[in-house]
Amino acid sequence: MAKSPFIESVRKELRTRQYSYRTEKTYLHWIRYFIRFNDYKHPDMMGNAEIERFLSHLAVNREVSAATQNLALCAIIFMYRHVVGREIEGLNYSYTRAPRNIPTVLDQEEVAKILAHMTGKYWLIAVLLYGCGLRLQEALSMRVKDIDFSLKSILVFRGKGRKDRYTLLPQSLVPRLQAQITYVEKRHAQDLVEGAGMTSVPSSLYRKYKGVMTDVAWQYLFPSTTLCRHPHDGYVCRHHIHATSFAKQLRKAVLKSGVKKRVTAHTFRHSFATRLLQKGTDIRTVQELLGHSDLKKTEIYTHVVGDRRAGTTSPADMLPGSKVEEAQASYV
């Protein structure tokens, strides 16, 4: 199928500005959708009316979330600003403010119950999420070189917002991490024998570090079971396992554990932050470990820490013991 010159120009602009591959796919999806929705009219022939109609369709007919609406608008604004060469002004629509949700967190016992039903690399990924406060993509993107056993730290390379940071290396995980690295070394050695051995990296790093991309230090800690072709540069490489692979294993473990909460990979990160605050860790330290640029993002976790209520006691707990026992007996 012939490629659209306009879509290819958007793709080129995204890559020139070094947007991530995931962002590229997402932006192109919404731009294509916007063009299809408006009967394939060229964006240069459209304006505020078409954009507003499209966003209203997403909100009313598709019933998408506030975050999805904002993402679609970001993609359209990028297209007009950097490809069409026109600023969108006077739009009768603004970024939707997402509701402020209190994060779901797990206590130590609940985490242990879920981990009891996970094995192998999926168990190790889950413990890294909880023990280091990582986002799932940060854990999956971890390379052998990012683990520093001597300094007891893990480098999060190009995390959200393209920022690097260091986080904790749980000492209890050292033997399991060393075993995982040994597995990676054996698989990589076999790849080299078969004429492969390249790892996947962003295009900018590929040009800069092409000579070391077959080094074991650059290999992913959780490599995919299959080789693939790099979407930008075309070389055959081994990527990391897909996020959906972990999500499926986590879902099974949660169901078996009996934990009655909605648990995702990000729940472990929420639980990491909450646990540190409960143990008295300074909130600035927690902010740094999480990689938050704004302290307000970290402060959300104070809302789930019981100690912030300054010892306030529920009126129900102040009832005379006999009244409570009497009520419990009648209920049963």
> Which residues are the active-site residues?
135, 160, 266, 269, 292, 301
For CA atoms 270, 272, 273, 275, the dihedral sign is: positive
Q: Which of 168, 129, 134 is nearest to 149 (CA)?
A: 168
Residue 258 one-letter amino acid: G
In the numeric block, which tokens belong to residue 298? 């970290």
- Maximum pairwise Cα distance, the chain: 79
Phi, psi of 167 (to 5 degrees): -135, 180
**311 with 284: CB under 8 angstroms?**
no
**188 with 196: CB under 8 angstroms?**
no
75-78, long-range: CB within 8 Å, 24+ apart, which pairs? 75/26, 75/27, 75/28, 75/29, 75/30, 75/31, 75/34, 76/30, 76/31, 76/34, 76/51, 78/13, 78/14, 78/27
Q: Which of 176, 178, 177, 151 is nearest to 166 (CA)?
A: 151
Backbone region of residue 295 per phi and psi (left: phi > 0; alpha: psi in -120 to 50; beta: other values): alpha
Q: Which helix (H) or strand (E) holds 209?
A: helix 203-209
